[in-house]
Structure 1
Amino acid sequence: MVNQAHTEAVAEFRRRKDEHFAAGRGPVQGAALAEFQGLSYFAPDAAWVFTVPVQPGDLAEMTMATNTGEARTMARFGLATVNLPSGPHILSLFAPLGEDKPARVFVPFRDATSRTGETYGAGRYLDAPLAQSPESDEMLVHLDFNMAYHPYCAYGDGWTCPLPPAENVLPDAVQVGEKLPSGEAN
């Protein structure tokens, strides 16, 4: 069950993104922009919201593959274990190089919806906020898959988008967040 505050936060996130795209500041351009009616989304579901401890990473540089073949280098900030319907899964969390205390981490992922055409085949992204646990010195990450979004390369050419590493490929169908319009192949 999704509470009202969460539903409103998800709706506001989506409204702002649609407004950004409609203003021509996103990847939708030309004739597609003139026809833009807003992005497509799954219904929110609180079962896909996790606040879990971060297992610290070594901040080692990791070269991530991209859709264009151009490498992107980020730091492996840490790991987080989420309890998916299929069982626990460990996700890698990334930060820009040189940021040892970021406010949020980057979580590229693919899931079963990426394979069925419900979402972009190369995956989706999360920007997940970090916070200190009120009970301990432990760092927590808030992974709200309702906020999952497609990279710009899902909407047009000319964008370089990092691809999720193998450990961030989820066996489950994450049917929340941004989705492709019905009938659109990726």
Structure 2
Amino acid sequence: MDNAKLQIQRREKDEFFRMHPQSPLTPEQQDKFTSLSYYDYNPDLDLTTTIEPIADGQFVPIQTTTGDVRRYKRYGKFSFMVDGQEVTLTLYEADTGFFLPFVDAGSGTETYPAGRYLEPEYLGDNRFHIDLNNAYNPYCAYSDGWSCPITPAENRLKVALKAGEKVPEGDWVEKSA
């Protein structure tokens, strides 16, 4: 995705949060909402990559912010470079599609402490489009009424991924993120 398309997508998302009845925000939050905070577009973090499948494909339990447990299949791993460092992430599969939760080094300051998510696009033959510029905060970043998967330890990075959504800021946020 190029920067122009990303900016359109972000404006549409902000409008959804502000106006739509299915927004993750409460009506009180919607009244105060201005926009989400985003990093600038980073073309280096718009990846098309081949996933190295995990042979055993085991299902793993992932705890949620409310104490529930969801099961995800460990689908595969991929590596890429960030600021001269190679990083590796594990991609999961659920009934609804592919799921990439991660926490980066900016967590708790620039990004949401519990991490961010992506749903990579499957291109066939274990190839995926993984655009980290689309990384988003889980709904539990906006209020306590949501149950969100907690990022597994294997996807907690020591480098900052400066792409996608930043930590929510403003008087519309119900809790400190």
- Interval of TM-score (by shorter of Structure 1 and Structure 2): 0.7 to 0.9
- Work out the CA distance in 1 between the residues paired with 2:168 and 2:88: 29
Question: What is aligned with 1:73?
Answer: 71
Query: Is the CA contact 2:112–2:168 (under 8 Å) kept in the aligned structure 1?
Result: no
Question: What is aligned with 1:40?
Answer: 37
Whether 1:154 and 2:141 are equivalent positions in the alignment is yes
Question: What is aligned with 1:106?
Answer: 99
1:181 offset after TM fit, Å?
A: 4.3
Q: How far does the alpha carbon of each residue in 1:77-108 deviate from its partner, in whole angstroms, 9 at most, with x for none? A: 111112222522221111114x7xx5xx2100
Q: How far does the alpha carbon of each residue in 1:142-168 deviate from its partner, in whole angstroms, 9 at most, with x for none? A: 221110000000001121101111111
- Work out the CA distance in 1 between the residues paired with 2:168 and 2:150: 21
Secondary structure, in 3 states, of the residue corresponding to 1:131?
strand
Structure 1: runs of 5 or more not aligned? 133-137
Query: Is the CA contact 2:141–2:168 (under 8 Å) kept in the aligned structure 1?
Result: no
Secondary structure, in 3 states, of the residue corresponding to 2:107?
helix
Whether 1:123 and 2:105 are equivalent positions in the alignment is no
Whether 1:92 and 2:90 are equivalent positions in the alignment is yes
Query: Is the CA contact 1:41–1:177 (under 8 Å) kept in the aligned structure 2?
Result: yes
Structure 2: runs of 5 or more not aligned? none
- Work out the CA distance in 2 between the residues paired with 1:114 and 1:86: 20
Question: What is aligned with 2:53?
Answer: 56
Counterpart amino acid of residue 61 in structure 1: F
Secondary structure, in 3 states, of the residue corresponding to 2:24?
coil
Secondary structure, in 3 states, of the residue corresponding to 1:41?
coil
Whether 1:180 and 2:167 are equivalent positions in the alignment is yes
Q: TM-score, normalised by structure 1?
A: 0.83
- Work out the CA distance in 2 between the residues paired with 1:18 and 1:182: 13
Question: What is aligned with 1:21?
Answer: 17
Query: Is the CA contact 2:140–2:146 (under 8 Å) kept in the aligned structure 1?
Result: yes
- Work out the CA distance in 1 between the residues paired with 2:70 and 2:115: 16
- Work out the CA distance in 2 between the residues paired with 1:144 and 1:96: 19
Question: What is aligned with 2:27?
Answer: 30
- Work out the CA distance in 2 between the residues paired with 1:82 and 1:39: 27
Aligned residues: 171
Question: What is aligned with 2:130?
Answer: 143
| Structure 1 runs, 4 residues or longer, greater than 3 Å off | 181-185
Q: CA RMSD in A?
A: 1.9
